[in-house]
Amino acid sequence: MSLIAFPTRELFSVKIDEFDLIIFDRYERRGVLPLLYFDNIARYVNDGGAVLIAGGPDYAEVNSIFRTPLGRVLPAAPTGEIFEEPFHANVSELGLRHPVTRDLPGAGQTPPQWSKWFRLVGANVQEGQPIMTALGDKPLLVLSRVGKGRVAALLSDHVWLWARGYEGGGPHVPLLRRLAHWLMKEPDLEEEALRMSLRGSTLITERQTLANLVDPVTLTTPSGKTEQLELTKDNSGHWIASVKAEELGLYSATDGAHTALINVGPPNPREFLEVISTPDKLSGITTQTGGTALRIGGDDGASLSLPNVIAQRASTQYHGSGWIGIKRTDASILNGIDRYPLLIGFLGLALLLGLLSFTWYREGR
């Protein structure tokens, strides 16, 4: 038994915006959280938070978490049915293109090469994307974007069978890891993205999307030339175009809605080519201005010689043996003038009388 009261108000009211992800694992409303805090969680999602619902029979019953203010942001509405029969969790056609479920180990076979589950909560998708289904087209895993946040509903509590290795188990680790990272907005798991990469001298432009068609991509080379790229779909569901990178520098690609950048070659090629410092690079400007470029350290790296810095007026030469000059500009800025009158009022009169009295006293002696 806990000796400390559960800090409900602190967690779900004061510090709720500090959470990266809130998970309800087979949670049944039994008075632990007042309805007010479910409303706080719904606001937290709209403001950019993330919630994962892993539901079992509790999600279909009268005390379901769906029948709270949180229900307005949940993507699947329970029908009250519970299906208890063997089934394989299947990646839907949409899920084959979604980064969370694409290329899951064992998903490329029919049936999938992972163990069966035995319970599914009946639900209707209100909004979002059912990326996994079961028992026909019944939703199993539904993802949704709500406001600035994200919500996922897993409509079965038997994922533990994969973790326990039942009938060989299943890819529970990659699935749950990707799911959590997608909810927390991992850039690599975005459904809609444009990326560029370099393989040898070949520039790869890759479009991640859930759509069946994509727009052409405009590629801009470092010299400013543009080229229209027509993307083709590969076996993994990505749209890809490849071109030869014939120039060194920064390439950019855009389809109007997304932009990607990549640098081809060393980040600073001139610096890599000339890594030894030399005053010769400044000789042109120093000769024109009457200045000089000096080394403060010897080639051995041990000796140190600092020249004196002298302020000079206009001259044709600003350097000499052991010194360098800085030209005075004689520039000044007047920020303002303040005047303070002296000897005013009774204080001034008293000082004046005191001075006269002191003078009379001295003369009288």
The whole domain housing 208 covers: 193-264
Average pLDDT of every residue of the chain: 87
Is residue 292 located within the same domain as residue 346? yes
Burial 250-271 (b: 16+ CB within 10 A, else e): ebebebeebebebebeeeeeee
Residue 203 lies in a domain: yes
CB 173 within 8 A of CB 180: no
**Mean pLDDT, residues 38-44:** 92
Please state the separation of Cα 218 from the chain's center in Å: 25
**Mean pLDDT, residues 303-330:** 83
Strand partners, 202: 199, 244
**Mean pLDDT, residues 325-333:** 81
Q: What is the DSSP string of 31-96?
A: SSS-HHHHHHHHHHHHTT-EEEEE-SGGGTSTT-GGGSGGGGG-SEEEEEEEE-S-B--EE-TTTT
CB 98 within 8 A of CB 191: yes
Residue 344 lies in a domain: yes
Is residue 173 located within the same domain as residue 200? no
pLDDT tens-place string over residues 58-114? 999 888 999 999 999 999 999 999 999 999 999 999 998 899 998 898 888 888 999
Is residue 23 located within the same domain as residue 152? yes
pLDDT value of position 5: 63
pLDDT band of 318, cuts 50, 70, 90:
confident
pLDDT value of position 130: 95
pLDDT value of position 20: 92
Asked if residue 122 has pLDDT above 60, the reply is: yes
Is residue 233 located within the same domain as residue 291? no
pLDDT band of 333, cuts 50, 70, 90:
confident
- What percentage of the chain reaches a pLDDT higher than 70? 92
> Final residue of a domain: which of 166, 188, 210?
188
pLDDT value of position 4: 60
CA distances from 124 to 76, 79, 159, 258, 302 (A): 5, 7, 21, 33, 77
> Final residue of a domain: which of 188, 223, 241?
188
pLDDT value of position 291: 87
Burial status of residue 82 (CB atoms within 10 A of its CB: 0-12, 13-18, 19 or more):
middle
Asked if residue 3 has pLDDT above 60, the reply is: no
Is residue 299 located within the same domain as residue 354? yes
> Final residue of a domain: which of 135, 158, 188?
188
Instruction: Report angle CA 174, 175, 181 to the nearest 5 degrees.
Output: 85
Is residue 259 located within the same domain as residue 303? no
Greater pLDDT, 110 or 252: 252
Asked if residue 271 has pLDDT above 70, the reply is: no
Please choose, from the candidates 282, 276, 225, the residue with its C-alpha nearest in 3D space to the C-alpha of residue 249. Answer: 225
Is residue 57 located within the same domain as residue 161? yes
Is residue 252 located within the same domain as residue 364? no
pLDDT value of position 1: 44
Residue 301 lies in a domain: yes
pTM over 0.85: no
CATH number at residue 113: 3.40.50.880
Interatomic CA distance for residues 58 and 295, integer angstroms: 77
pLDDT value of position 206: 93
pLDDT tens-place string over residues 126-180? 999 999 999 989 999 999 999 999 999 999 999 999 999 998 999 999 999 999 9
pLDDT value of position 297: 72
pLDDT value of position 299: 62
pLDDT value of position 233: 86
pLDDT band of 339, cuts 50, 70, 90:
confident
pLDDT tens-place string over residues 186-205? 999 999 999 999 998 899 99
CB 74 within 8 A of CB 109: no
Is residue 173 located within the same domain as residue 209? no
Residue 271 lies in a domain: no
pLDDT value of position 354: 85
> Any residues with CB less than 8 A from the CB of 119 and at least 6 apart, and which?
56, 57, 82, 83, 84, 156, 157, 158
Q: What is the DSSP string of 149-211?
A: EEEEEE--S-THHHHTTGGG---HHHHHHHHHHHHTT-GGG-SSEEEEEEETTEEEEEEE-SS
CB 121 within 8 A of CB 138: no
Asked if residue 268 has pLDDT above 80, the reply is: no
Please choose, from the candidates 272, 270, 265, the residue with its C-alpha nearest in 3D space to the C-alpha of residue 221. Answer: 265
Asked if residue 343 has pLDDT above 80, the reply is: no
CB 99 within 8 A of CB 182: yes
Please choose, from the candidates 296, 295, 298, 292, the residue with its C-alpha nearest in 3D space to the C-alpha of residue 278. Answer: 295
Residue 270 lies in a domain: no
CB 216 within 8 A of CB 230: yes
